[in-house]
């Protein structure tokens, strides 16, 4: 036991030195140049929300930041700002695994989970130091508004969406603080108690990453928001909640990888039975569809579910395209296989699939063949009553595609908060990953630029998530009672009609 401790403390200084080591500017510039060229060649969504002038401008800024040697972490933050600026929920840029593991050492993390309620950052954990529900005003003299904005780059969303970033803030506040401001031994927290404007201060000790994670698992809001951050044991459910109202909850679309998967076929059978029951029961004329925890998944689970809610033909996409058929900068491409021959086979298979689905080059775009985006028909057991769709900032990817189709093409009343996934479209379906040669930073993005088959609506804004008809957020009072504000609002709305 004591021998292990000696080895640990001898090893720790080496880790700190490596973490603070500065890399030559020329090597960083080379990686940044490769990063820029990869995204120009491979990322079809590069100019979806930003003009070429705006993209060029942020790269000019980035190059100006590395005129001198910089640490890997300093360079990483520059890359993060660029990937966040592009505006795609599928963008994901990560540090090398070995470097990332260094952040798990020692007691350096903020101890308590937090949550944004009514625009206030509040303590989301029962403890003896700072009472539950207390509003945080600053940490280590850094104002909360600055903290939140500094953390935006760590969690990407579609377009200009901000609400989705609060999902990352809620789950990873301690991790983001350590990444942004460095390891801390303690935290000076300025806060105020419930129903008080008086500001108090408290010094709280930093904790290990394991304790940070454990505290998050035991956060106060767990009964309400658990499914936003964890895999649901029951991915979907259906129940009758009153004589005239049913509830369909779909917490994920990761229900089998394709139309032939056993899990998908079981889901289809389940939906058939649910909607056959609704068709036979004429009294049930209200259906609440709850997808607030749905961060996405696989086709065709999203469009299958939609087929039971619509009365008219539809397509998954209005249009879709990629910007290449042959992998650009293949030397930096991250393959699943490691053997050279298997890498080549993987590359050839990937490119063959692209050429089949996106065969034609028109105006610099390889457009999707119509056979991959056929006109689909409503299910014969489709629901004809009033739909109430519950949405939240957690919804993205296939979840937001489904919610967009329901919002744009049915009679649904949309209740909740703006989604992080876009209403009009996103980049999705096919993820690729590259590794930069010098820093070994990995960057992942999806290459299919798609416009969803939805109409323009007065309350839906390009570059934003799906905007609800009734914006309903949890109040501080409801937070303290762990009330499902949006669900209770929906039941009252149904009763009033």
174: domain CATH number is 2.30.42.10
- Helix, strand, coil tally for the chain in percent (to 5): 40, 20, 40
> Is 322 part of a structural domain of the chain?
yes
Omega before residue 267 within 30° of 0, cis: no
Average pLDDT for the chain? 93
Q: Are residues 341 and 305 in the same domain?
A: yes
Question: What CA dihedral angle connects 298, 299, 301 and 304, to 10 degrees?
Answer: 170
> Is 109 part of a structural domain of the chain?
no
Are 320 and 279 contacting, i.e. CB atoms less than 8 angstroms apart? no
Residue from 424, 409, 412 nearest 466 by CA = 424
With cut-offs at 50, 70 and 90, classify the pLDDT of residue 103: low
Q: What confidence score (pLDDT) does residue 209 get? A: 94
> Is 106 part of a structural domain of the chain?
no
* Interstrand relation of 413-416 and 470-471 (parallel, antiparallel or unpaired): parallel
Q: What confidence score (pLDDT) does residue 232 get? A: 74
> Is 107 part of a structural domain of the chain?
no
Residue 2's CB: how many other CB atoms inside 10 A?
Answer: 6
* CA–CA distances in Å: residue 184 to residues 18, 74, 139, 149: 18, 18, 11, 20
Residue 366's CB: how many other CB atoms inside 10 A?
Answer: 20
- Three-state secondary structure call for residue 285: coil
Model confidence at 4: pLDDT above 60: no
Kindly report, residue by residue over 373-428, the tens digit of the pLDDT. 999 999 999 999 999 999 999 999 999 999 999 999 999 999 999 999 999 999 99
Q: Is the dihedral of CA 251, 252, 253, 255 positive or negative?
A: negative
> Is 287 part of a structural domain of the chain?
yes
> Is 187 part of a structural domain of the chain?
yes
Burial 380-393 (b: 16+ CB within 10 A, else e): ebbbeebbbbbbbb
Kindly report, residue by residue over 319-366, the tens digit of the pLDDT. 999 999 999 999 999 999 889 999 999 999 999 999 999 999 999 999
Q: Are residues 378 and 469 in the same domain?
A: yes
Q: What confidence score (pLDDT) does residue 5 get? A: 30
Among 156, 186, 220, identify where a domain stops: 220
Number of independent structural domains in the chain: 3
Q: Are residues 253 and 368 in the same domain?
A: yes
Kindly report, residue by residue over 138-156, the tens digit of the pLDDT. 999 999 999 999 999 999 9
Are 326 and 289 contacting, i.e. CB atoms less than 8 angstroms apart? no
Supply the CATH number for residue 331's domain: 3.90.226.10
Q: Are residues 31 and 87 in the same domain?
A: yes
Q: Are residues 355 and 484 in the same domain?
A: yes
Among 191, 220, 249, identify where a domain stops: 220
Residue 64's CB: how many other CB atoms inside 10 A?
Answer: 9
List, in sequence order, every residue forming a beta bridge with 51; answer none if it has no partner.
none
Q: What confidence score (pLDDT) does residue 97 get? A: 86
- Three-state secondary structure call for residue 273: helix
Q: Are residues 334 and 428 in the same domain?
A: yes
Kindly report, residue by residue over 244-299, the tens digit of the pLDDT. 999 999 999 999 989 999 999 999 999 999 999 999 988 999 999 999 999 999 98
- The better pLDDT of the pair 143, 195 is held by 143
Q: Are residues 136 and 28 in the same domain?
A: no
Environment class of 347 (CB within 10 Å of its CB; exposed 0-12, middle 13-18, buried 19+): middle
Rounded Cα–Cα distance for residues 495 and 291 (Å) = 21
> Is 230 part of a structural domain of the chain?
no
With residue 74 as reference, give the H or E element that holds it.
helix 72-86
Q: Show Cβ contacts of residue 251 under 8 Å, excluding neighbours closer than 6 positions.
A: 227, 232, 234, 235, 236, 291, 293, 294
Environment class of 141 (CB within 10 Å of its CB; exposed 0-12, middle 13-18, buried 19+): exposed
For the chain, percent of residues with pLDDT exceeding 70: 96
Q: Are residues 319 and 418 in the same domain?
A: yes
Among 190, 220, 250, identify where a domain stops: 220
Q: Are residues 173 and 310 in the same domain?
A: no
Model confidence at 70: pLDDT above 50: yes
- Three-state secondary structure call for residue 318: strand
Q: What confidence score (pLDDT) does residue 306 get? A: 98
With cut-offs at 50, 70 and 90, classify the pLDDT of residue 230: confident
Q: Are residues 454 and 411 in the same domain?
A: yes
Q: Residue 65 sits in which domain range? A: 20-101
* CA–CA distances in Å: residue 479 to residues 126, 163, 205, 245, 389: 13, 18, 26, 26, 22
Burial 10-25 (b: 16+ CB within 10 A, else e): eeeeeeeeebeeebeb
Model confidence at 179: pLDDT above 70: yes
Q: Are residues 439 and 376 in the same domain?
A: yes
Rounded Cα–Cα distance for residues 314 and 462 (Å) = 21
Rounded Cα–Cα distance for residues 296 and 119 (Å) = 26
Are 459 and 467 contacting, i.e. CB atoms less than 8 angstroms apart? yes
> Is 228 part of a structural domain of the chain?
no
List, in sequence order, every residue forming a beta bridge with 237; answer none if it has no partner.
249
With cut-offs at 50, 70 and 90, classify the pLDDT of residue 9: very low
Q: Are residues 410 and 279 in the same domain?
A: yes
Residue from 348, 251, 260 nearest 293 by CA = 251
Q: What confidence score (pLDDT) does residue 494 get? A: 97
């Amino acid at each position: 036991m004591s021998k292990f401790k000696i080895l640990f403390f001898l090893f720790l200084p080496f880790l700190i030195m490596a973490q603070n080591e500065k890399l030559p500017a020329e090597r960083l510039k080379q990686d940044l140049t490769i990063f820029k060229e990869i995204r120009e060649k491979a990322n079809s969504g590069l100019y979806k929300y930003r003009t070429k002038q705006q993209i060029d401008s942020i790269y000019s800024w980035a190059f100006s930041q590395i005129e001198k040697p910089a640490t890997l972490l300093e360079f990483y933050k520059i890359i993060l700002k660029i990937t966040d600026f592009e505006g795609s929920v599928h963008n994901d840029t990560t540090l090398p695994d070995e470097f990332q593991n260094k952040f798990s050492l020692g007691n350096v993390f903020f101890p308590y989970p937090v949550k944004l309620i009514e625009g206030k950052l509040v303590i989301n954990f029962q403890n003896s130091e700072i009472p539950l529900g207390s509003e945080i005003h600053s940490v280590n003299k850094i104002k909360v508004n600055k903290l939140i904005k500094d953390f935006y780059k760590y969690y990407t969303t579609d377009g200009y969406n901000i609400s989705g970033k609060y999902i990352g803030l809620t789950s990873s506040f301690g991790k983001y603080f350590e990444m942004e401001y460095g390891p801390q031994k303690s935290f000076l927290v300025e806060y105020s108690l419930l129903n008080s404007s008086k500001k108090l201060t408290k010094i709280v000790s930093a904790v290990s990453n394991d304790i940070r994670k454990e505290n998050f698992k035991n956060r106060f809001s767990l009964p309400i928001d658990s499914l936003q951050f964890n895999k649901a044991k029951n991915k979907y459910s259906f129940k009758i909640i009153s004589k005239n109202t049913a509830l369909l909850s779909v917490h994920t679309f990761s229900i089998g990888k394709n139309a032939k998967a056993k899990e998908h076929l079981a889901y289809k059978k389940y939906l058939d039975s649910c909607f056959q029951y609704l068709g036979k029961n004429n009294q049930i004329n209200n259906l609440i569809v709850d997808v607030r925890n749905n961060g996405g998944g696989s086709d065709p689970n999203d469009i299958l579910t939609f087929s039971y809610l619509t009365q008219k033909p539809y397509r998954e996409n209005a249009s879709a395209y990629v910007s290449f058929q042959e992998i650009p900068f293949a030397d930096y491409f991250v393959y699943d296989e490691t053997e050279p021959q298997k890498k080549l086979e993987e590359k050839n298979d990937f490119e063959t699939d692209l050429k089949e689905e996106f065969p034609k080059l028109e105006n610099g775009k390889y457009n999707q063949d119509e056979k991959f985006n056929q006109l689909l028909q409503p299910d014969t057991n489709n629901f004809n009553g009033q739909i109430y769709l519950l949405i939240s900032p957690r919804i993205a990817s296939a979840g937001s595609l489904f919610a967009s189709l329901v919002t744009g093409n049915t009679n649904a009343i949309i209740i909740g908060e703006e989604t992080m996934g876009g209403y009009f479209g996103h980049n999705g379906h096919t993820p690729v990953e590259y590794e930069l040669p010098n820093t070994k930073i990995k960057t992942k993005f999806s290459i299919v630029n798609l416009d969803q088959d939805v109409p323009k609506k007065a309350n839906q804004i390009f570059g934003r998530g799906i905007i609800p008809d009734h914006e309903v957020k949890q109040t501080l009072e409801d937070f303290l009672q762990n009330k499902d504000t949006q669900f209770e609002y929906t039941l009252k709305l149904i009763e009033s009609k």
